Amino acid sequence: MQINRTASAHWSGGLKDGKGLISTQSGALKDYPYGFASRFEGIPGTNPEELIGAAHAGCFTMALSLILGEAGFTAEHMETSAKVTLESVEGGFAVTAIHLSLSGRIPGADEATFTELANKAKAGCPISKALAAVPITLDVKLG
């Protein structure tokens, strides 16, 4: 089975004064603004790192749901945030770290089991695999 998803970006202008628009096949993002100011200066709009974080948090949490089910658990709820670090390095900028923070309520699971299964999901989710060149860390809170 092969699934293809598409997204697109449009850009006009130079790096600092330019304006970009990002769209996704699903329409979840349609001509959503991004640019230098939203990436480096905290101005409203999105940026590639934020989108990577959203994709990673979503993929990881979905993968964990599968792994929990295989282990006989069902999440009452789970919340994952992803902190994607962009740093100036020799030769330009690079994503240097991703930190996933997970909290959840899983009836019947203890902290050790939840952490073990979460680490399995971190290693196995397709987005984690795609981002394997970046150190990915995880903290887990059962509650």
Query: How many distinct structural domains can be found in the chain?
Result: 2
Q: How confident is the model at residue 57 (pLDDT cuts 50, 70, 90)?
A: very high
Residue 81 lies in a domain: yes
Residues 36 and 81 in one domain: no
b/e code 120-142 from CB counts within 10 Å (16+ = b)? bbbeebebbeebeebebebebeb
Residue 98 lies in a domain: yes
* Per-residue pLDDT tens over the stretch 100-135: 999 999 999 999 999 999 999 999 999 999 999 999
Residue 135 lies in a domain: yes
**Nearest-angstrom CA–CA distance, 74 and 115:** 15
pTM comes to 0.94
- The letter for the amino acid at 102 is L
Is 142 a residue whose pLDDT tops 90? yes
CA torsion sign, 37 to 41 to 46 to 48?
Answer: positive
Residue 2 lies in a domain: no
Residues 29 and 59 in one domain: no
| Degrees, nearest 5: CA angle 11-16-22 | 30
The position carrying tokens 């202008």 is 13
Q: The domain containing residue 67 runs over which residues? A: 48-142
